[in-house]
């Protein structure tokens, strides 16, 4: 996709917004190669780091809203039909991926809209089950903004840090290397948080049972 390469090579606030909008729909645009390079250039004085995060997050919100509305108004049969179509496959989409995002949403409730934004393979699809479940839009937008904002801050911090240690011609390789570490750390933190709340719920439940005896 030459147009994508052109946009990635000419990052400004408009292209950051547009690419992150696409990333949050079903277009395979890796956010690591949008926000981190933009932050890299911000560290060099070409962009403002806070505006990079702001436009990236607004773009993610708009793209996620498109998926939310598709799930809300089109329904599961049409979503699955598109996922299994030639166009869906061109977007690296299939029914299994949509079902995986649905399972994550229904297993974790509305908070999945927040945590799902941090998980590879789930991040750009978690908005669809939120729409299918008719989640209140203000809740959806709040959790999406928090999740997307957190992810964009992490990517921006990576790009800012890499500016001090990596020449620009090595940036792509280093982003790939560090982003893998970041994904592992995020998954570990989400796992720890899940165990923490599970233990907290279990202790509270046990106290409630003892209080009834």
**Residues of the chain above pLDDT 90, percent:** 31
Of 148, 124, 129, which Cα lies nearest the Cα of 28? 124
Cα–Cα distance list, 90 to 83, 94, 129, 167, 180 (Å): 10, 10, 21, 33, 24
Q: What's the confidence (pLDDT) of residue 207?
A: 66
The first and second tokens of residue 194, run together, are 């899940």
| Contact between 132 and 76 (Cβ < 8 Å) | yes
In this predicted structure, the answer to whether residue 49 has a pLDDT above a threshold of 90 is yes
Q: What's the confidence (pLDDT) of residue 189?
A: 66
| Contact between 161 and 44 (Cβ < 8 Å) | no
Residue that wins the pLDDT comparison between 61 and 191: 61
In this predicted structure, the answer to whether residue 57 has a pLDDT above a threshold of 60 is yes
**Domain extents for the chain?**
2-212
Q: What's the confidence (pLDDT) of residue 210?
A: 58
Q: What's the confidence (pLDDT) of residue 206?
A: 67
Q: What's the confidence (pLDDT) of residue 19?
A: 92
Q: What's the confidence (pLDDT) of residue 1?
A: 52
Q: What's the confidence (pLDDT) of residue 96?
A: 86
- Three-state SS string over 169-202 comes to HHHHHHHHHHHHHHHHHHHHHHHHHHHHHHHHHH
pLDDT digits (tens, 9 = 90+) for 170-213: 888 888 888 777 777 766 766 676 676 677 767 776 666 655 55
CA distance linking residue 4 with residue 33, whole number of Å:
11
In this predicted structure, the answer to whether residue 150 has a pLDDT above a threshold of 70 is yes
Question: For 22-36, what is the mean pLDDT?
Answer: 87
Could you report how far apart the first and last alpha carbons of the chain are, in Å? 66
Q: What's the confidence (pLDDT) of residue 112?
A: 79
| The model scores a pTM over 0.85 | no
| Contact between 36 and 175 (Cβ < 8 Å) | yes
CA distance linking residue 34 with residue 31, whole number of Å:
5
Residue that wins the pLDDT comparison between 109 and 153: 153
| Contact between 125 and 83 (Cβ < 8 Å) | no
């Amino acid at each position: 996709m030459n147009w994508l390469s052109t946009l990635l090579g000419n990052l400004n606030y408009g292209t950051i917004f547009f690419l992150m909008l696409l990333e949050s729909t079903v277009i395979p645009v890796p956010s690591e190669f949008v926000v981190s390079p933009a932050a890299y250039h911000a560290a060099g004085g070409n962009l403002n780091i806070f505006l990079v995060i702001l436009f990236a997050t607004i773009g993610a919100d708009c793209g996620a809203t498109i998926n939310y509305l598709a799930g809300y108004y089109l329904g599961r049969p049409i979503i699955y039909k598109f996922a299994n179509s030639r166009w869906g496959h061109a977007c690296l989409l299939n029914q299994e991926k949509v079902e995986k995002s649905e399972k994550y949403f229904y297993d974790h409730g509305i908070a999945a809209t927040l945590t799902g934004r941090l998980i590879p393979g789930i991040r750009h699809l978690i908005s669809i089950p939120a729409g299918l479940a008719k989640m209140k839009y203000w809740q959806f937008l709040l959790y999406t903004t928090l999740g997307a904002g957190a992810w964009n801050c992490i990517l921006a911090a990576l790009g800012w840090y890499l500016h001090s240690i990596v020449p620009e011609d090595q940036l792509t390789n280093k982003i790939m290397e560090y982003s893998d570490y970041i994904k592992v750390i995020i998954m570990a933190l989400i796992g720890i948080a899940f165990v923490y709340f599970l233990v907290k719920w279990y202790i509270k439940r046990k106290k409630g049972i003892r209080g009834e005896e």
